[in-house]
A and B are shown apart, each in its own frame.
Chain A
């Protein structure tokens, strides 16, 4: 049916559009921005994860626009927010590398970069550092970076020898040599450093 000047009145151009936001994934969160809006209106959208969950991104027909945080209502639009349940990062400090890797995979995480660093106290081959730190939440399949000890050196042992027998406050006392920080440099410190030497080490 046409009016007097010939415009179609049966399917007039709609001036109101719907923005649909949906959640997906193993986690939980809240979404804001969904609703009916006038044509041309700019709408802010957000996805806020609940405790123990993380927001991993937008998807759906208009996911890229939701990713910008603002949707311009030029038609009906929809986005999907994915929330993932956080997994607790295990403590792998002091583990041998293979054990650490197993623990990380068992928690649905992935092993990231593995670097090496000397340590005065931790034997070679054992994990001395990790990121993220143990006990924090991480999205499943996220990376855990590890630092593996290359052990102590003879120089470390000589450092303890130079301060051996000294007590905190004395001139020969060296806090670096007091490995267990008990205020005295003694056999516990010496043997701790000695035990962290690589296999087959000899020191004079």
Chain B
């Protein structure tokens, strides 16, 4: 009887509590995939989701330097939603293909921010055709106790295509008129030959 009761309790708890999900912060690139042509500017966001009490962060952003050249980086709105911040844009290494040590921190003894949002925005010049993966490396997320927040990271991809010349547009009406003129001309020439 007591065994049945215990099983019943276990079932009730299992049903109502559901599986325990340990939500982990995810740091990712947005958009995940994009296609641009050479000569254009590529903008990517570094986003975070499911984070709790984020007080500061740091990461490197890797890219393919034969396809892209880093131009600039700026602070996203997510961390600043928690108060005053101090942003370090990072250092562009366009030979090795890394924007090093982009960082941001809240100021003063305040709580960190929760949820999801945009950490930073990066712009690149697409200098040649090819693919480039955006990879987040050496990231550190800190909570307001200055303890490490564990995270998962997701890469992004940009495909840079060669710039192609646009085909000339053909007006159907003009084409028909030209065809009529051509046929008319041929008919006239045939008539003159037969004379």
* A residues in contact (CB < 8 Å) with B: 123, 157, 161, 164-165, 186-188, 190-192, 194-203
Contacts and interface: CB of A to CB of B under 8 A. Distances in A.
Given A192-B146, A195-B55, A187 B140 contact: yes
Given A164-B101, A190-B56, A194-B56, A202 B107 contact: yes
Q: For chain B, which range describes its interface: under 10, 10 to 19, 20 to 34, or 35 or more residues?
A: 20 to 34
A164 B103 contact: yes
A165 B107 contact: no
Given A188-B146, A203-B86, A194 B105 contact: yes
B91 to A, nearest CB: 7
A199 B110 CA distance: 8
B134 to A, nearest CB: 19
A204 B84 CA distance: 10
10 residue pairs, one from A and one from B, having the closest CB atoms: A187-B58, A191-B56, A165-B101, A194-B105, A191-B105, A202-B84, A199-B108, A194-B107, A197-B108, A123-B109
B142 interface: yes
A195 B85 CA distance: 11
Given A161-B88, A201-B84, A203-B86, A187 B142 contact: yes
B177 to A, nearest CB: 66
Contacts of B86: 157, 161, 190, 194, 203
A203 B107 contact: yes
